[in-house]
């Protein structure tokens, strides 16, 4: 787990992961009680305050891990009992490969039970087959050999994505800067009109097609913040020359 000032959420996350043989936290310089709480729940904490991006922090975490299998979890996530059982079954099997999980979103105090828009994310790996991670945001795993088998785990990973408006705005600013830097590095263009178009299409797809409208106000706010992030990412790509992503994400 990577952390920075997660004292309000880290206990629930670590409690759900208590079945693991070891709990490893790489902290980016928390000024609250994150480190204290993590250690109280049995985690080994390594401090790396010289933030250089998510991929760098995850690669540092790999250096501290000793298990045969690794499961990555964020502080705003909770492993369900069903997912825990599946992870334990994979470890007992000794199988090679990587495994994806699906988030079940919890936004503004409500689980979005009707929302069907979350793509699977790779979280469980064989340690000897995982080389590391690349990318500024939504970092990508790299493996020791191509075409490793990949399977899906069906148990949900509860993602407390957005708890407050204030927290959502902070997260919005962080991911706008990271996304804009990634687009600039890839030589992609930005702008207001293309941002309006892409964000509008995304909002309609999430809110209407993917069923978030059935989850009331929390469903609307969840989709709105995602669409707003996309819009500002395109705008920042063109107009915000002061965004330096490696120093943002903290």
| 200-250 per-position pLDDT tens digit | 999 999 999 999 999 999 999 999 999 999 999 999 999 886 555 545 545
CB 96 within 8 A of CB 148: yes
pLDDT at 60 over 80: yes
Summarize the confidence of residues 171-175 as an average pLDDT. Answer: 89
Phi, psi angles (nearest 5°) of residue 57? -65, -40
Structure confidence at residue 147 (pLDDT): 86
Which pair of structure tokens corresponds to residue 231? 């819009």
Closest CA to 117 of 219, 196, 49, 33: 219
Q: What is the reported pTM?
A: 0.82
Structure confidence at residue 139 (pLDDT): 82
Q: Which of 64-73, 105-114, 179-188, 239-248 has the lowest mean pLDDT?
A: 239-248
List of residues 6+ apart from 106 with CB closer than 8 A: 112, 158, 159, 160, 161
Summarize the confidence of residues 38-67 as an average pLDDT. Answer: 93
Summarize the confidence of residues 114-124 as an average pLDDT. Answer: 88
Q: Pick the residue with more confidence: 230 or 186? A: 230
Summarize the confidence of residues 135-158 as an average pLDDT. Answer: 88
Structure confidence at residue 250 (pLDDT): 53
Which pair of structure tokens corresponds to residue 239? 């107009």
CA gap 220, 229 in Å, rounded: 14
pLDDT at 130 over 70: yes
Tell me the CA distances in angstroms from 197 to 17, 23, 194, 202, 223, one per residue in order.
41, 43, 5, 9, 15
CA gap 149, 161 in Å, rounded: 29
In percent, the amount of the chain with pLDDT more than 70 equals 95
Sheet with 2-3, side-by-side order of all strands: 2-3, 24-27, 44-47
CA gap 185, 240 in Å, rounded: 14
26 band by pLDDT with thresholds 50, 70 and 90: very high
DSSP calls for 94-145: T--SEEEEEEEEEETTEE-SS---PPPEEEEEEGGGEEEEE-SSS-EEEESS
Summarize the confidence of residues 20-48 as an average pLDDT. Answer: 96
CA gap 175, 191 in Å, rounded: 17
């Amino acid at each position: 787990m990577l952390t920075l000032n997660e004292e309000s959420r880290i206990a629930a996350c670590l409690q759900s992961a208590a079945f693991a043989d070891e709990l490893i936290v790489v902290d980016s310089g928390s000024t609250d009680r994150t480190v204290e709480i993590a250690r109280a729940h049995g985690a080994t904490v390594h401090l790396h305050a010289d933030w250089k991006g998510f991929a760098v922090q995850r690669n540092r975490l790999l250096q501290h891990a000793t298990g045969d299998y690794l499961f990555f979890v964020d502080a705003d996530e909770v492993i369900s009992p069903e997912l825990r059982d599946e992870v334990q079954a994979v470890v007992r099997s000794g199988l090679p490969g990587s495994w994806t999980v699906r988030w079940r979103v919890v936004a503004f105090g409500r689980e979005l039970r009707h929302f069907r828009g979350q793509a699977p994310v790779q979280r469980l790996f064989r340690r000897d087959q995982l080389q590391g991670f690349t990318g500024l945001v939504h970092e990508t795993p790299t493996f020791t050999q191509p075409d490793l088998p990949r399977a899906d785990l069906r148990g949900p990973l509860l993602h407390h994505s957005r708890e407050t408006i204030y927290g959502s705005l902070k997260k919005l600013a962080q991911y706008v800067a990271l996304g804009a830097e990634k687009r600039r590095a890839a030589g992609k263009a930005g702008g207001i009109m293309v941002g309006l178009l892409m964000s509008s299409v995304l909002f309609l797809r999430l809110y209407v097609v993917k069923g978030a409208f059935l989850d009331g106000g929390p469903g609307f706010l969840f989709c709105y913040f995602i669409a707003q992030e996309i819009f500002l990412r395109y705008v920042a790509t063109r107009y915000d020359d002061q965004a330096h992503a490696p120093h943002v994400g903290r």
